[in-house]
Every structure is written in C-alpha cells, then in structure tokens.
Structure 1
C-alpha cells in the first residue's frame, strides 16, 4: 500500500503534535514553518491532564509530566495580597486523574521536534494553500505553494494538509472566506520568563498565584528548573504592542504596586524579554474543521482567551484525534468528517467558557471587584476546589482508543 503524505502548515505545538501523531500512524509528514527557526521565547504553557493524556498517545506524556513543579499550590489573591482561594495539584489529581504541568514552550517544542525524522521540519518556508484537493478523487491531491528567500516558488502535493497556522490563519480564510474573523476579546496579555539566576528567592518554588484586580490580572507560575513564568492581562484598547514601546514600564505602571513578588519579578526582567499580544477569540464556530483534504487545527480554527489555560491543550487534543481517525487504511472523507464531529462541539464549548471567565477578569469598578472577590472567597470556603471546577468536563477528557 502506498504511504500517505501529509503537509503540516505551522510549526507550533499543535502542528508539531499532529506531525508526530501522523508519523506514528505511518504517514510521511512534512512540516512547513514560516519562521527562520523554531525558537519560541518568553512564554510558558499549562498542560492540564487532558493534554497530558493526549500526549501519552504519542509517547511523550511521561516526559512532560517530569517537567512539573512538584506539589504545586495555586492561589487566587487580591492586589494587596489577601488570599481568596487556594488549591493544589493533589486536588487536580483527585478531580481529573493528574496534575497540571507548567512547561516552557521551547522545551515542549524541542521534545516534539525530537520525535520527528530529521528532514521533516522545514523552517523559513512560508506556505500558501493553492488547492484544498478532493478526498474523493485520487488524482486531485491538496496543493501547497512554498516561497524561497529568493522569491522562487515550489508546489507540493499531499493526501492531507493540516493547517495549524495560528489565529489569523490564511488557510481558514481560503477555505471559509465568509466566516467572521476572530474578534478582539477586550484585553491584551503580557508574558515573560525570569531566568533561574534572577528568580532565586522571588517566589516559593511550589507556589503559583493569580491575582485579580480592577480591569486585569497577574499570574506567577514556577517552572521545574527554577525559572518563573509570569503573565498579566489588562482591559485596554488593542494595538499597544508596537515596536519601541517599553512593555516592562507599562507593566510597572499597572502592576508595580501589587503584592510581592510582582514588583521583584518586574525588576528582574529586561524590557526586551516581555512579550505583548492582543487576545483574540473565535467570533463564531466555523461550519466544519475540514474542507477538501484540509483539516484545521488549534488557534487556526478555535482561538480562545487564555483564562482556562486550554488553548494549547485543545490544539494537542485536535492533533491526536485527527491522527486517530486518519488511520492508514481509513477513508479520508469519513476520517475528516469524524474529526469535525468530535472536535467542533467540544472546542466551541471551551471557547465560550473561557470567554466568560475572561470577561469576569475585565471588571473595572471597585465595588464590582470587591463583590467578585467576596464571592470567590465565600465559594472557596464552601468548595475548596473552586479554581478547578471551571475545568470540569474539560481536564477529565480522554483520547479515543483503537477498537
């Protein structure tokens, strides 16, 4: 039987997971990444038990779990430091069957690339979908055009194209030109990682917190190797991430008076190490997650706010479900239809739930914020695992298994 071929457009976590999963299923996979190198910087990623179980199917789950900070405690606080709610990874294990792992994106990228053939990933290779192909016709594969640095173009064909090209996906616009683009969620986010040397003594190695204030929040998460991942959001107009803007100064202005270790973390990071991105989320679910011989995956099809920490997790789920359905002997039309059938309703629900929490964190008025804090604290006293309840029905997901 002829070996099937797949092209993955985008070398992020979702695209690379799909590449590894398809490779393990017997596909010959090529990953086309626009950037000159796979070097994500300054950002961590939370991997809930659902994502870890998905990664188990490609043989990297245990390695990811080894990245976890041990006995992690999570807290919700006010800007003055007052504790509102607390949970820990032991509660996550009881509730969802596993802990939440906080990893650096670069570490996860390197792990996934290491599971692919050496020639599978092509960086510095912009790609454009020219023809989605027809899964019912063997003589009409999908066609992708790549552009070399000198401007020369090459057309590649494949039995399957996986579009993992991000929030502003060109492939999605090609497949569904009338579908509304993702919309600004009403807030922007900043992210950075403090190196272990600079993080010494700034935070307990097993303590994470999220602090909610008027119009925004701050999060601090320890990584397993001593580094600290920090993030913040604020309800501001979009477009503030222009080159030349000192983002650390902006963070100091907004969060510098909040409780420790926030001021110390800001003092320990260089201005060039702070990433800023406007947050966009899906305006509406697409009609399908596939068209022709093309499957959409991750942010390319269901961008969401970061409030549940599920953006990357859902992309990983997409990848392993797609590979599961696309067995070497499976009929591609049925496989892609099954992929849409499983993933569209689930990710739509996660997008909406995350968006509701995101809107809650943008409240500005002090009376409303005081009421929000009181409700969180009161609920936490009655239900100690409050912070985990938002992941019910999400973090307990399990990947499909072969019959």
Structure 2
C-alpha cells in the first residue's frame, strides 16, 4: 500500500474538474486530479459557451486562448419542419460581453485548461474503490483508496466526476433520473469546407428538435433531441447504426442541409445518450457537502441541454469554489482542515439556488418544446414563450465573479503536511 498526501484532490478531468484545478492553481494551490480514463475525454464533440461562461473563463485566465479561435454567433434561424416557416433569432451578448456566444470543440477547451496545469497534475487510469474520512486533530480528513492500492489523504476532496458521480453517492445524493428524452450528437467534417455562414440553424418537429452550428471552416457541430428510444442503449455502441437510424427514422422529413450534416459525421464523435437531470429538491435539500468533501459540475447538478448551460455552469462552479477556498487560504494563512468546511458551506449556499433554477428551466424548456402537438401542449407552449422563456434565457446574463488575489501565496502554509 502506498500512502500519499495532497492538499486538494479533484475526482474527474472533465470541464468542472479541469477548471477547478486551474482556479486553485491561480491561488498557488496544486490539486491532484484523478481521472479514470486513459486520457482527456471529449465526449460530446463541442459545446456552446454563453456570456456567463466567457466571464468565468476570463476569471480563470484562459478566455483569450479560445476566443481567438472561434467566431461569435450573432444570428440564428429556427425552422418549423411541418410548415416550413422560419424565424430569425438574435444571439446578442450580455453582461459586458458585446459579442454573441461561441461554440467550441470540447477537446480544445479541455486542452486549454490542461495547459495551465503543471505536469503530473492529472493522474489518468485512476479508479476509486473507497472514500472515507478520518478524524485527525478534531477535523475530518478525506481518504481515497484507489484500485491500485494507493491511499490518498487530502485536506479537500471535490467530486467533478459527472452524472454518475461516486463522490455524490458517497454524500448520499439520489441518482440522477431520466428525463424521458435522449440526444444524438456529432461532428460533421467537410475537408473542402462547408461554405456556411457563422449562424445557428434549428429545426423543430413534433417530439423532435435538431440543429447545427459551424465551429470552423471545415467542422460543424450538430445535435438532435428526441423522445427516448428503447434502442438507445444498444445503438450507443455502434456509431454507424446511430447514423442510419437517425437518417431513416428521425429526420427523413427534415431539410437536406441537416441530413447532409449527419452524412458527413465523423463516426468517432457520434453519441446517443439519455438526457439525465437531478431532482431540484435533491440539490436544494440534499447533502452537497460533508466535512471537507463537496461537488461541482454535473456531479452536483446534471441538467438537460435545452438552455445550453451544463458546461457553462460547471465553469461558474470552478470560479466560485476557487473564490471560497482562496478566501479560506487568505483568512487562515493556509489550508487549515478545521476551517475549510465553513468556507465550503459558503460555496454550496451560493451555488445551489442558481443551479437549481438552471435545472428547472432546462427541463421545462425541453419538455414544453417537445411535449407534443395537442391543444393543451400548444397552449402551454404559447404561455411559456410569451411569459417565461426570456426570463429563463436571461440566466446567461450572470457574472460569477473573480478569484481573490493571493499576492503572498508562497508565504502561506500551503505545504503543511496532514498530521
């Protein structure tokens, strides 16, 4: 058995885990990130980052590395497949961001974050067997047992390990639930260029919603959400079957331009997965912290993609969590295990209501838009768009704040061993 001591351990090298690692690095705290995969995972191919995410990336010091690579979206179009009617929409900026949202390659985002971390900060192929706590000097110390026999003691443990988080289970949170819908996503590649304008396109039909957004001159990100199919789990293992199933049974009445995206898909990027979310009351009343253990990203607040806020909220989490840990660092002259829990409570209190409303808004946005075509649903859809949609969409108009300045971080007792 090998015993290791770390200041902070982060479980999961996804967006939340990597961003949290960068936030702590800015404070002079080197975290160890445990990732069960053999390398950085880019499942999902791409994601759209709205103004709140860019403010978070700016606080982390990496926004400029990405904004120079991707053009902002200023306009989009939504087409009703049944009637052929098309409506223009504006992707105006907010909260000090004059330009619209940008859609980025997920892998590029992860690599930009990884480049800010020191060599060895990420430990790949790390599988957790057991999490426990040991009380030392009156303070609970997280202890992580890995399958290779390594035992890690840490002052703080942060679960950023996604929808099926082992850390969330340890905290006693209920499992995320299936929304009744699923999503197909992929990356279309045009070696000679696609010739599209930098605009988003959406297509809506009964029980279906799809769209695409150019990422570069050659890459286009596309997605389709639909009512869950019993074949979903089977098709998830075979990208060619996914493509054929979508073309033949889901978008046969869609415009040719969308079918062309599917035909040009890089099969290695195709995924079909159920859309999961956490019950709002589990977030509000659930145990999001126990001792010096807490959560961020999908481990805390899995949500459907209908507001495009899953990755954006994870970036917010990283900054807010870094701010509270940084304040604890400054206030106590170092990471003092007995004082950390109170500051983690401050993080939980600041985040739980915001992410709860994001989960609720995302779920109802998707349910209303894909809930059928009977009179009752049409009425609900009318009320939703007239009175609630703009309020929900304004969630992107949010600034999570900055990281605290730690000018004398080298003088703080950051390296004190766990006794």
- TM bracket (short chain): 0.7 to 0.9
Matched, 1:257 2:253: yes
Structure 2 CA distance for aligned equivalents of residues 271 and 256 of structure 1: 20
Q: Counterparts in 2 of 1:149-228, with a 5 A limit?
A: 152-176=148-172, 179-197=173-191, 200-201=194-195, 204-228=196-220
**Could you tell me how far apart the structure 1 residues matched to 2:397 and 2:183 are?**
23
Structure 2 counterpart SS, 1:34: coil
Structure 2: how far apart are the matches of 1:396 and 1:135? 40
Residues 207 and 111 of structure 1, relative CA distance in 2, 3 Å threshold: same
RMSD: 2.8
Aligned length: 385
Q: Which residue of 1 aligns with 2:145?
A: 145
CA distance, structure 2, for counterparts of residue 238 and residue 301 of structure 1: 27
Query: Counterpart of 2:180 in 1: which secondary structure?
Result: strand
Alpha-carbon distance change, 349 to 371 in structure 1, aligned in 2, over 3 angstroms:
closer
> Which position in structure 2 is the counterpart of 1:112?
113
Q: Is structure 2 residue 401 aligned with structure 1 residue 399?
A: yes
1:26-75 CA deviation, whole Å, 9 max, x = no partner? 21211110011114145211111111111111101122222332453222
The answer to whether the 8 Å contact 1:257/1:263 transfers is no
Residue 9 of structure 1 corresponds to which residue in structure 2?
11
Alignment of 1:367-382 (within 5 A): none
1:329 aligned counterpart, secondary structure: helix
Secondary structure of 1:124's aligned partner: coil
Among 52, 56, 61, which residue is 1:54 paired with?
Answer: 56
The farther-off stretch of 346-355 and 331-340 is: 331-340
How far apart are the structure 2 equivalents of 1:231 and 1:239?
A: 18
Local SS of the residue matching 1:35? coil
Structure 2 residue aligned with 1:267: 263
Q: Following the alignment from structure 2 to structure 1, what is the Cα–Cα distance between the partners of residues 83 and 214? A: 18
Q: In 2 relative to 1, CA 52–133 (structure 1 residues): closer, same or farther, beyond 3 Å?
A: farther
Q: Measured at CA, do residues 401 and 20 of structure 1 come closer, stay the same or move farther in structure 2, by a change above 3 Å?
A: closer
> Aligned pair in 2 of structure 1 residues 373, 220: CA closer, same or farther (>3 Å)?
farther
5+ residue gaps, structure 1: none
Moved more, 222-231 or 389-398: 389-398
**Is this contact kept in 2: 1:14–1:298, CA < 8 A?**
yes
Is the 2:51–2:396 contact (alpha carbons within 8 Å) kept by the matching residues of 1? no
Q: What residue ranges of structure 2 are gaps of 5+ in the alignment?
A: 332-338, 406-419
Shift in alpha-carbon separation, 1:390–1:181, aligned structure 2, 3 A: same
Q: State how 1:1-400 maps to structure 2 within 5 Å.
A: 5-41=7-43, 43-79=45-81, 82-89=84-91, 91-93=92-94, 97-132=98-133, 137=138, 140-147=140-147, 152-176=148-172, 179-197=173-191, 200-201=194-195, 204-237=196-229, 240-242=232-234, 243-244=237-238, 246-252=241-247, 253-269=249-265, 271=267, 273-283=269-279, 284-286=281-283, 287-327=286-326, 328-330=329-331, 331-365=339-373, 390-400=392-402
In 2: Cα distance, 1:213 partner to 1:106 partner: 31
Q: SS at the partner of 2:169?
A: helix
> Structure 1 length normalisation: TM-score?
0.86
Aligned partner of residue 285 in structure 1, secondary structure? helix
TM-score, length of structure 2 as denominator length: 0.83
The 1:4–1:75 alpha-carbon spacing in structure 2 relative to 1, beyond 3 Å, is same
Shift of 1:14: 0.6
Contact 2:80 2:86 (C-alpha < 8 Å) held by counterparts: yes
Judged with a 3 Å threshold, the aligned counterparts in structure 2 of structure 1 residues 36 and 371 are, in CA distance, closer, same or farther, namely same
Q: CA offsets, 1:109-148, max 9 Å, x none?
A: 110110000110111111245224569835x42111122x
